[in-house]
Structure 1
Amino acid sequence: MGEYFDELSTSDSEKILSKAGLSLIGITGGLAMALVIGCGPFISPALRRVCLPYIPATDTQVQNILKVLSQRKGRLLDIGSGDGRVVIAAAKNGFIADGVELNPWLVAFSKWQALRHGVQPKTNFFYCDLWKFNVSPYNNVIIFGVEEMMSELEEKLFQELDNGAAVIACRFPLPSKTPVFTCGMGIDTIWLYEIKKDSY
């Protein structure tokens, strides 16, 4: 009789351990999946042909952009808008400002930030590949690029934008164009270019 109870309690213990093990595997698997889904948009830029990582603009860069924009009017686009800080700053300074970003979490965060800062009616954030996004409706385009992409981006911008439109390049200049104005130093340097079709 004692052996029966020993066998019964051992069997019950194994069932409890088995359920606990399955629960632990399920929780661990769920956390791993959530981590992959959450981090994927931040890691995937490194896997593209041109790696364009998310690096937030510094306060000095934003101030330099606003200094250049103080003489400009019209609609504004930030290519690779990240957390939306440049778009929001431009909207606070009177621009109708849009951002295009390939990371859906950053697009959602940018929309929330625009709402929080009270500029949501003047802003839009698009989840889209910058190479497929039509920039022609804009008078002012801002880009935080990497050196490897600037040549191809220069070609796209000068083909699609109208005469008189401004391109503000941050961190890296356009490779074959001469800026009409330069502001800042080091990583905070920005270059202002003006579209002139007859010289392209």
Structure 2
Amino acid sequence: MRLVRLLAGVAVVAVAGLVLAAPAAGQQPAAGLRRPDVIFVPTAQNVVDAMLEMAKVTKNDIVYDLGCGDGRIVIAAAKLGARGVGIDIDPQRIKEARENAKTAGVEDRVQFLEADLFTTDISEATVVTLFLLPSLNLKLQPKLFKELKPGTRIVSHVFDMGDWKPEQTREVDYRSIFLWTISANSGK
């Protein structure tokens, strides 16, 4: 029953995100960026920790969080010694993420970009984290295959990648986490 409630809640958040992300009549996004595809829904800290553990993040990693929101995943990775880049199209979230990084004392290890995750170069990533809708994960897949090097790990919270089967799946408080690794044959 708890799982059904969780799935129903995720569905409501997804629909609300699509509705709220739709442009209001006559409004244009700032600086030529399009509007956010979803509303910000924070990832619980225990899920953040599990995602980074699942990806085996070390001080040698560069963690990119696509749709980074308040920056919590990138900040947690920096606390493990990794470097991180958070990308979000929402200027308010980027401002909040930068403030959170400063408060956490990791601003020298992280960078937050107000940018479109579909057009921003992510080729330096060794780990990519996602909490996006299924349609966005699928739309992002060709970019992941094209830009990421073999060995790059991808971890998604709640939503999978369609026919691309994960190497690992973990449940944390009734939330699914999926792991994939880019190989030389990924996307072919």
Distance 2:166 2:88 in 1: 25
Q: Which has the higher helix share?
A: 1
Q: For each residue in 1:86-144, what CA deviation from the matched residue of structure 2 results, as whole angstroms up to 9, or x when unmatched? A: 11111001110110011111101111110111000000000001111111111111111
Match of 2:78 in 1: 91
Unaligned runs of 5+ in 2: 1-18, 24-33
Q: Is the 8 A contact 2:35 2:89 kept in 1?
A: no
Q: Is the 8 A contact 1:50 1:148 kept in 2?
A: no
Distance 2:137 2:55 in 1: 21
Q: Is the 8 A contact 1:168 1:190 kept in 2?
A: yes
Q: Is the 8 A contact 1:151 1:175 kept in 2?
A: yes
Match of 1:52 in 2: 38
Q: Does 1:66 align with 2:81?
A: no
Distance 1:187 1:154 in 2: 25
Identity, in percent, stands at: 28
Match of 1:112 in 2: 99
After superposition, residues 120-139 of structure 1 pair within 5 angstroms as: 120-139=107-126
Q: Does 1:193 align with 2:169?
A: no
Distance 2:166 2:36 in 1: 24
Q: Is the 8 A contact 2:101 2:107 kept in 1?
A: yes
Q: Is the 8 A contact 1:80 1:100 kept in 2?
A: yes
1:174 to 161, 169, 186: 161
1:192 partner SS: strand
Q: Return the TM-score normalized by structure 1.
A: 0.72
Unaligned runs of 5+ in 1: 1-42
Larger radius of gyration: 1
- Could you say what the CA RMSD is over the residues aligned between the two structures, in angstroms? 2.1
Q: Is the 8 A contact 1:64 1:184 kept in 2?
A: no
- Greater shift after overlay, 48-57 or 106-115? 48-57
Q: Is the 8 A contact 1:139 1:165 kept in 2?
A: yes
Q: Is the 8 A contact 2:46 2:172 kept in 1?
A: no
